[in-house]
Structure 1
Amino acid sequence: MISKDPSTDQPTAVSVTLQELKDGTVSLATLEQAFGPDSLGIILVSDLPERFAEMRKTLLSYSSYLANLSEEELVKCEKPEVQYNIGWSCGKETLGNGRFDTLKGSYYAQVLHDEALEAKARELYPNLGAMTGSNVWPDEKVLPGFRKAYEDLCLLIVDVASLVARSCDRYGAAKLEGYETGTLEKIVKTSISTKARLLHYFPPPTTAAEDSSDDGWCATHLDLGALTGLTSQMFVDEAIHKPFSADGSFAPLTEMDAHPDPSAGLWIKDRSGKTTQVDIPRDCLGFQTGRALELITQGKFKAVPHFVRGARASKAGSIARNTLAVFTQPNLWDMVDEKRDFATLAQEVFAATYEKK
């Protein structure tokens, strides 16, 4: 059953506290409401460590700084040989209407590291550089502190994701025959396939045509992995709060309370095709279900179709949107069903994605 707001009868995301996850007191019914076949496929986690608020604001501010670097510096952080699945990219993806997405910049990085496992992945899957390649970072002199801010926040999100995974494992052990205890928690804590993506949605040019499609910023899609950790979105008016100071130093940007267009942001499609906007509070993290989790739980938990709706041109002005997603994913050799390892699933998804282009 989908959780609903009793005052509006509209679907809402299920919310739990970090302490409930630590104590293991999140009920199986709550997990079904969050991730089951009739759910929105997302759970919100509140009461995060105090440092989270500052870490979030810092990294999401860096997203604007990064996207406003010179073309010369950004090209140094591109990796076209791995389909831009590491480092910086802009204008390489297509939207639902087939147009190349020039209004979104992103920065991918591998989150967890283990030299032995990384060597194993490269040896077993030499043609899957998108999943085994090494990170690339801007020069520390050009964007000081960026790498540390990125890595620190991602590791905190992985720590919280591992607790969500532990609750999912309790569900699997209780509901699924032959489910191995600790399966998902082990994936989240140790997989070197886990990646993060820092996103910057540029303010659209004033000459941009109005996009009538729902998924104007990001085409409707399913995430590939197990659990996707999401920060709340940061809206910044870059005409007022420019991403670089006169001396080139970094300082967190002033965040807008809300976007002038209330429809801008994350939308989820439920199993009937109805769309619901999901607002992640600034002091919370959201965790969405992906394809690998659906397979691992034999369909008990469902991957959630979602998209990001762009602001109407008349209301977008100079406003940018920044956010971070951390995709916890199985190791490439981990089996996601009886016939496929995660590498096979990833290759199938990549092939479908680039065939569309």
Structure 2
Amino acid sequence: MVHSRCFSESSATFTSIPILDFSQTRSPETKSTFLACLRDALVNVGFFYLQNAPIAPLVQHAFTVKALELFQLPLEKKLEIEMVNSPHFLGYSRLGAEITALKPDHREQFDFATELPAPGPDEPLYRNIVGPNQWPDETATPGFRQATERYLSEAGDLTESFTKLIAEALDLPPTALDEAFDRPQQHKLKLIKYPPPPEPSEESSGFQGVGPHKDSGFLTFLLQATPHRGLEVQNKAGTWIPAPPLPGTFVVNIGRALEALTGGICTATTHRVSLREEDFQDVDGQSLGPRFSFPVFQGVSPDLSSARISLVIPDHIRRLVKDEKVKSDAEATFNTMFRGSIGEGTLVARVTSHQDVGQRWYPDVLAKALQGQRDFQSQ
């Protein structure tokens, strides 16, 4: 079994991914059940399916159609908005351009975000992770921007509602996490295409959809737009648990920022996208073609640091985490991965993942980051 409705496991080695029903939040009689399920998912799994999300089906459909159309553009049109042209890491990335776990990902993608202006010249360098989009030529993709902005707006409303729901699940006031976010928030959106690898049997020789990693932000809301399998979640025993598409659901997962904010109570879980041959076939062995997935990433303020965190989480919630190593890892996140603040760490992560962008806009940051990787590998 790869999923369940809602459960409570005392073991860290979860074997299923729960399904939460957002419609339960609309009634006082059922909201407490939803919050209990959410708490279990936050503490024990780090992932859950969400059904009945408040994103209009027509909005979702229109966006999906336009997103698929975008990938059909000729390469020269895609390159007009290549990410290397954006200091804000927004735009088009060719197949294999992004690096995860020190290996190139076998995926082609576009990055967009809530439309916001570039930072001023006196703001910290890491503030450049927020900025305006590169939009494709409207004559080449009529209606794409409108459909995408509408989808991102509704998805953004959903992410912000979860800021309050998570606080309530931890027995905190609904506004307890508000200080972690800028106003307005910028939500990131990836449009990802995973072609079948040319030689699926060579996956172990270097092909990966996305290598094992944990997301760096607050929450991720993933729309799996095609019926492909391939997304896998790792439990604490090291077993990979499948997270196949379920009709009418989003896959939601916890990022490192939320884990750090809660001192390890909310767990960020390692996941990957595999490229096995069977993941690109239906039950009859027929090809499904490329896999498409569209995650929305809810980030926190780039200025957020441990000094700004003032959460006082109730003892009975803190005791839910039995693993002291999880707590210590979370407490160290700001000083290691995030280099003291979310923005600084995110900029370093972006330049190492998109090294062409780093070389053009942030060569000193990239050189220092790559040297840090070499030093770590030599230890």
Scaled by the length of structure 2, the TM-score of the pair is: 0.71
Equivalent in 266, 291, 295 of residue 301 of structure 1:
266
Find out whether 1:31 has 2:34 as its counterpart: no
Map of 1:329 onto structure 2: 299
> Which 4+ residue blocks in structure 1 deviate beyond 6 angstroms?
none
Residue 5 (structure 1) shift: 7.7
Alpha carbons of structure 1 residues 289 and 55: separation in structure 2 relative to 1, 3 Å: same
Change over 3 Å in CA distance of 1:282–1:187 after alignment to 2: farther
1:126 maps to amino acid? L
The 3 A distance-change label for structure 1 pair 216 and 106 is: same
Q: Is 1:125–2:124 an aligned residue pair?
A: yes
Bigger mean CA deviation after superposition, 298-307 or 339-348: 339-348
Which residue of structure 2 lines up, in the alignment, with residue 136 of structure 1? 134
Cα offsets for 1:211-269 (capped at 9, x unmatched): 137982111111111011111231xxxxxxxxxxxxxxxxxxxxxxx44xxxx321111
* Whole-Å separation in 1 of the counterparts to 2:155 and 2:71: 23
Report the AA paired with residue 67 of structure 2: S
Q: Is the 8 A contact 2:152 2:187 kept in 1?
A: no
Q: 2:165, 2:174 within 8 Å by CA — same for their partners in 1?
A: no
**Equivalent position SS for 2:295:** strand
Query: 2:196, 2:298 → 1: CA distance?
Result: 29
Q: Among residues 56, 68, 92, which one is paired with 1:51 in the alignment?
A: 56
Unaligned runs of 5+ in 1: 175-179, 235-257
Unaligned runs of 5+ in 2: 7-12, 282-286, 310-333, 335-339, 356-369, 375-379
Which of 96, 104, 107 in structure 1 is aligned with 2:107? 104
1:199 aligns with 2:204: no
CA distance in 2, matches of 1:265, 1:295: 28
Verify the 8 A CA contact 1:55 1:149 in the aligned structure 2: yes
Compared CA separation, residues 318 and 25, structure 1 to 2 (3 A): closer
What is the SS of the residue equivalent to 2:19? strand
Shift of 1:282: 2.7
Contact 1:106-1:197 within 8 A present in 2 as well: yes
CA distance in 1, matches of 2:182, 2:48: 19
| 2:217 alignment partner in structure 1 | 225
Structure 1 residue 274, shift from structure 2 partner: 1.3
The residue type paired with residue 77 of structure 2 is: E
Q: What are the residue-to-residue correspondences of 1:130-169 with 2, within 5 Å?
A: 131-169=129-167
Q: Structure 2 CA distance, aligned partners of 1:299 and 1:286? A: 21
Pair 1:212-2:212 in alignment: no
Aligned residues: 311
- Going from structure 1 to structure 2, the CA distance change for 1:311 and 1:186 (only over 3 Å counts) comes to farther
Deviation at 1:142, TM superposition (A): 0.2
- Per-residue CA deviations over 1:48-101 (Å, capped at 9, x if unaligned) read 35732x4333333333322231121111111315578201102212355x5533
The answer to whether the aligner puts 1:21 opposite 2:25 as a matched pair is yes
SS of 2:104's partner is coil
Query: Structure 1 residue 16: deviation in Å?
Result: 2.3
Post-superposition shift, 1:302? Answer: 1.0
Moved more, 69-78 or 214-223: 214-223
TM alignment of 1:225-264, pairs within 5 A: 225-234=217-226, 258-259=227-228, 264=229
Overall identity of the aligned pairs, in %:
20
- The answer as to 2:350 corresponding to 1:350 is yes
Assess, with a 3 A threshold, how the Cα gap between structure 1 residues 157 and 215 changes in structure 2: closer, same or farther.
farther
- Tell me by how many angstroms 1:189 deviates: 8.5
Q: Is the 8 A contact 2:50 2:250 kept in 1?
A: yes
Higher deviation after alignment, 270-279 or 347-356: 347-356
Partner of 2:237: 272
Q: Which one has more relative contact order, counting CA pairs under 8 Å at least 6 apart?
A: 1
Which TM-score applies when normalising by structure 1?
0.74
RMSD: 3.4
